[in-house]
Amino acid sequence: MPHSYPNVILAGYLAGAQDYLPIAAQIRAQGKEALVVPLQWWEWLPTVGGRSIAPILVKLDATVKQAKQQFGTERVNIIAHSAGGWIARIYLGDQPYYGQVWQGRSHVAQLVCLGTPQRSLEPWTVKNLGFVNDTYPEAFYDDVDYVCVAGNAVTGAKNWLNLSQWLAYSSYELTIGTGQASGDGITPITAAHLQGATNLTIDGVYHSPRSGTWYGTPAVLSQWAAYLK
């Protein structure tokens, strides 16, 4: 039996696997196994506008099963960034989503969500996120360990002199109805946490790898990776 579960890393919305290869490398450097779901950014295009995210679930399922076979384990951890977190919550589930039941919880020991908007008021996410939160509210499954990580880097404000604050205000308002909140510049802290999960908030962490310090920055990764099963 291996020392730890292998880790399957799922990209955020409209992101490809390339941005997450450094995370996999850092996890391997800790003596743990890691695979990145092999997505290209354009593979998200069929899901745009609130359509089914089944194409992403197919790739996630294949990578989970590959990891189980490759590393000889019964279960894996999923590390999911941004929208990948709530997509993984669909994968865990035992109810039909667009006619298919994924039953991923039988394969998954732990779900680690990084900057995931677990709830949102955005019109193009309401259908899918509504399904998630109506069917599998909060940290739904007792046999899956949920870890939700939020960044605390930007307080939203209508400040024309500070673009990051203005963009954060707009994003937070779309997500929770008010822009006067704190978060990673995209996801407010209150939307990133789930009741019943291990909820972490890390100061100075931005949503995207192009923003500087983010969830995959080594000093940040070491904080949430300490919780990997």
- C-alpha–C-alpha distance, residues 190 and 211, integer Å: 21
pLDDT of residue 171: 97
Range 112-117 average pLDDT: 98
Question: Sorting pLDDT into bands at 50, 70 and 90, what band is 3?
Answer: low
Range 136-152 average pLDDT: 98
pTM of the predicted protein model: 0.96
- pLDDT over 50 (residue 2): no
Per-residue pLDDT tens over the stretch 170-211: 999 999 999 999 999 999 999 999 999 999 999 999 999 988
